Structures are given as C-alpha cells and as structure tokens.
Amino acid sequence: MLYTILRLLIAVFLRLLFRLEVRGAEHVPAVGLAMIVANHSSLLDPLAVGVTAPRPLHYMAKAELFRIPLFGRLLHAVNARPVRRDGSDSRALREALRILESGQALLVFPEGTRAPEGMLREGRAGAGMLALLSGAPVVPAYVEGTGRALPRGRWLPRPGKIRVVFGPSLSFGKMDDGRRRERYLSASGEMMAAIARLKQAVEVGERAGMTTARAGGSRDMRSALRET
C-alpha cells in the first residue's frame, strides 16, 4: 500500500518537474521473474524506471543510504535493499536471487556506479551473474536526462526532460557449465550493448525530429514571405 502511494506521488513529481516520458513499457513482463537493466547516471534513475515500469520493482541501493535517519526506512518502503559498494556483498546477491526466484522484478544497474550523462561504462560481472543464476528474462532500459537534472555531486535538481525507453527482452538461460566469470562478463556486456542500441535509437529519433522541425520552420517562413 505504501509503495503504491509513494509511486504515485513520485510519478506526479517527475512528470511535473521533468516532463517524464516512457516508451516500450510493453516489453516488461506483466508477471513472473524479470530483470530490468538500465544505465546509471543519477540518483533519479531508480525513481524514473520504477514509476514508468508497469509493475512494482525491487532494487539494490548502496548501504550508506540506509544509515540516514528516516530515509533508510523510506528506501525499504519502496522495495530497496542494501548492498555494499565494494562488490563483494554475498548477502545482497542472495537477496537479489531470492527476489527473482519468488517471481518478482528486479532493477539492476550493470555499470555498478554512476556515469556522466550520455556515457555508458562497461558492465560488471554482477548483473550477468544474476541473469545466469536465475534464468530471468532481461529487459534493457535506457534512461536519458537524469544526469543533467541531478548529476553526481548535486543535491538540488534542475528542471529538464527525462525519458525512459524499454527494449525487447534478452534471454540467457541458466548457467550449466564452467567459465563462470567469463560468462558473467559476457552477459553483462550483451546487456550494455542492448542499452547502447536503445540510446542510439533515441538519438537518431531526436535528430530526425530536429530536422523535421527545421524543415517545417523553413516552409512556414517561405509561406510568410510569399504572403507578403
């Protein structure tokens, strides 16, 4: 109940301040285990993906945030679970697998840390490990604009445009042989490649829109000149 209320309030906030837009939400499975993997450039990313996905999401957040009075309880209320930043938190991995195996959806940032707006880093092994151990379908998502609205080191957001684009799901199946770390990294690499393709599609669409707008403006100008 609290999750639903908070999700609604956050959605209103993001749409009013950032003109939040979503595309491809139909790619997120309505039921059953699923991983949503997204690029990461801002603390706004979990909120933006969480309110645009058509079902409740769970996600992992750095353990330090849970030590902040009241804020830690709020994180738990929105389905966040703590993870240590050194990447060796086996308890967090077990919790993430438990979430997936119980048929729920988990949001994961394969890069493991925030990058500047528009930059995609290499995926770390953890995301691939979760996909291969759980066998969950993996839905890539590209988040645009959060790094400009609230970049690293800034605490007050700037109004702007935020867009979340979900893509077709990837399937890795369960791991059944050796070369574990190699396969984890390969799977994470495929996830980041899918996110990069979504990023490219968004940028191509934006350039096409700008070209169309300029062409329309030129036609309007020519019409105005003829009328005079």
Q: What is the DSSP string of 82-125?
A: EE-TTS--HHHHHHHHHHHHTT-EEEE-TT-S---TT--PPPPH
pLDDT in tens, 122-178: 999 999 999 999 999 999 999 999 999 999 888 889 999 999 999 999 999 877 665
Whole-number percent of the chain with pLDDT over 70: 87
State yes or no: pLDDT of 1 exceeds 80: no
**Domain ranges for the chain:** 2-227
Contact 58, 130 (CB under 8 A): no
Q: Residue 39: which of 31, 49, 24 has the closest Cα?
A: 49
pLDDT in tens, 30-74: 999 999 999 999 989 999 999 999 999 999 887 887 887 777 777
Q: Say if residue 20 is exposed, middle or buried (CB neighbours under 10 Å; 0-12, 13-18, 19+).
A: buried
Q: What are the φ/ψ torsions at residue 23 (nearest 5 degrees)? A: -135, 150
Residue carrying structure tokens 């699923």: 34
In the prediction, which pLDDT does 211 show? Answer: 63
Instruction: Domain 2-227: give its CATH architecture.
Output: 3-Layer(aba) Sandwich (3.40)
**Euclidean distance between CA atoms 112 and 103, whole angstroms:** 24
* 224 vs 80, more confident: 80
Sign of the torsion formed by the C-alpha atoms of 149, 154, 155 and 158: negative
**Euclidean distance between CA atoms 228 and 225, whole angstroms:** 5
Show the tokens assigned to 145.
């604009």
Query: Integer distance in angstroms from the first to the last C-alpha of the chain?
Result: 62
Which residues, in sequence order, are bridge partners of residue 22? Answer: 164
